[in-house]
Amino acid sequence: MSAPEELASRAELTARTVPMMKLSDGSDSSMTPAPKVALGSDTELAAQKRFEVVGNAVITGGAGTLGLQAGHALLEHGLEGIMILDVNPTQSQAEIEALKARFPSAKISALAVDVTDEIAVSAAMQEAVSFLGSIDILICFVGIVGCVETLKMPVSQWRKVIDVNLTGTFICAQAAAQHMVKRGKGGSIIFIASISAHRVNFPQPQVAYNVSKASLLMLKNSLAAEWAQYGIRTNSISPGYMDTILNEGDGIAEHRRIWAERNPSGRMGSPSELTGAIVLLASRANTYMNGSDIVVDGGAIVF
């Protein structure tokens, strides 16, 4: 860089303006007012209302076991509609049709979307709004993992994992939040992180996955701070090893044994055991949870 160019770049640097983050003031006229709690005579109805899920949800990676279980639980608690975004939703077409049959009054649809393609994601979110009427909840299940020794890891694999798990989640959150802000009713965004975000897993090496999930926690924190003024709560769940198809097969039988032995509960988690945290973060009970991470791992994280 020549001297004039360096002087010009320094001048631009010192003349820059940096945006200021705005927080909510929590007043009744803000997007984060304290809830109005009235004790009614019907205690059973009050209990149901506490964990009522209102509106519509977009679930990325929603055609997988965890996403489908989450959708089912949310519909049980009052969710009106779901748009499932998945790179290959037809793989679970039978399960999606079963969901429609069980909840005939709900709007349920699916789209094939690559979450790393911001144009495709933007179009999918717009289609979700057109089909459902609104996006009130976003749950990001999409994630890939590659277990390889770091010394031998292709840089292309590192980039792919970070692109899908972190950048893809950012793209979906930004696109959904834009609709939430435009509507002016707030919303709930839930990232699916991992215990891998908190500590190194054993015995498999998976550095890219661990870094991508740890980064999700900071993304969650940053958005929780920035978007609270719009009434958008951004939280995450960190599951332990869940007993899904991704953790099946003879090739990881020894890994499964080690995971169970190192867990106080002595086993992997059932997909249904993640739904309680999902419902909590999506429901009326979540009005003062923002920037939180819920660990659901049977106690593995204590070691």
Q: How far apart are CA 133 and CA 233, in angstroms?
A: 20
Nearest to residue 92, comparing CAs of 219, 215, 271?
271
Question: What does the pLDDT average to over 118-140?
Answer: 98
> Catalytic pick from 92, 196, 212, 213?
213
- Distance between CA atoms of 176 and 39, rounded to whole angstroms? 34
Domain 50-302 class in CATH: alpha beta
Closest by Cα among 198, 193, 191, 146 to 171: 191
pTM of the complete model: 0.93
As a whole number of angstroms, the distance between CA 189 and CA 64 comes to 19
Task: Encode pLDDT of 52-111 as tens digits.
Answer: 999 999 999 999 999 999 999 999 999 999 999 999 999 999 999 999 999 999 999 999
* DSSP bridge partners of 216: none
Of the listed 92, 188, 194, 196, which one is catalytic? Answer: 194
Point out the catalytic residue in the list 92, 188, 196, 209: 209
Tens digits of residue pLDDT in 176-230:
999 999 999 999 999 999 999 999 988 888 999 999 999 999 999 999 999 999 9
Give 2-41 pLDDT, tens digit per residue: 666 665 677 777 778 889 999 999 999 999 999 987 777 7
Nearest Cα neighbor of 217 from 202, 241, 234 is 234
- 255-287 burial, b at 16+ Cβ within 10 Å, e below that, comes to bbeebeeebeeeebbebebbbebbbbbbbebbe
Active-site residue, 194 included: yes
What confidence category does residue 174 fall into, taking pLDDT thresholds of 50, 70 and 90?
very high
**Which residue in the block uniquely carries the two structure tokens 């209302």?**
49
**Dist. CA 150–CA 208, nearest whole Å:** 9
Give the start-to-end residue ranges of the domains of the chain.
Answer: 50-302
For the question of residue 209 being annotated catalytic, the response is yes
